[in-house]
Amino acid sequence: MTENDQQQNEHDETTTEGPTDVGDRESTNAMPVRRKEPSDRKKPADAPFTFEATVATKDGTGTRVKTFRLPKLDEVAAAAVPGRFTYDAIMQPDNEMAQMTLGFASLEACKPDPAALAALRSLPTAEMIAVVGAWLGESRRSSV
């Protein structure tokens, strides 16, 4: 090691310039970084709920994936749901059947487009239940 290299090593060991960690923000020139919040990825409350389903093509020779919309659950539709469904879902929160009955009754009370309802019913059971659950969750967040 040359004398110049030795002096450089000694200088490197005794001086630190700026932050030592990437997450350190001590510099006055550094702009604060805004962290993304979970709400940054949420759809606006008034955005329509959409889901995708595979449907037959118009000429009947194949299939394609199409996006469908479901209406939001509003107060008028919620009021049309028979009280016994709401009562059962509240009084038996662990009863999945009562929860699903309330979800489907709420969806039907919104009078969705017949094509969207047919597409929903064409999904495999687990996927259909997941779509209705997500729809109900978004509807509750937005209006009811």
Tens of pLDDT, residues 46-84: 678 999 999 888 888 899 999 999 999 889 999 999 999
* Residue whose token pair is 């450089």: 8
Query: Which residue numbers in the chain have pLDDT < 50?
Result: 14-27, 144
Question: Residue 49: what pLDDT?
Answer: 93
Structural contact between residues 74 and 143, judged by C-beta atoms closer than 8 angstroms:
yes
In the prediction, which pLDDT does 23 show? Answer: 47
Phi then psi dihedrals of residue 55, to 5 deg? -125, 160
Q: What is the pLDDT of residue 22?
A: 45
If we measure between CA atoms, which residue out of 98, 64, 65 comes closest to residue 83? 98
Cα 19 to chain center, whole Å?
Answer: 37
What CA–CA distances, in Å, run from 59 to 55, 62, 131? 11, 8, 28
Distance, CA of 117 to CA of 123 (rounded, Å): 10
Tell me the pTM. 0.62
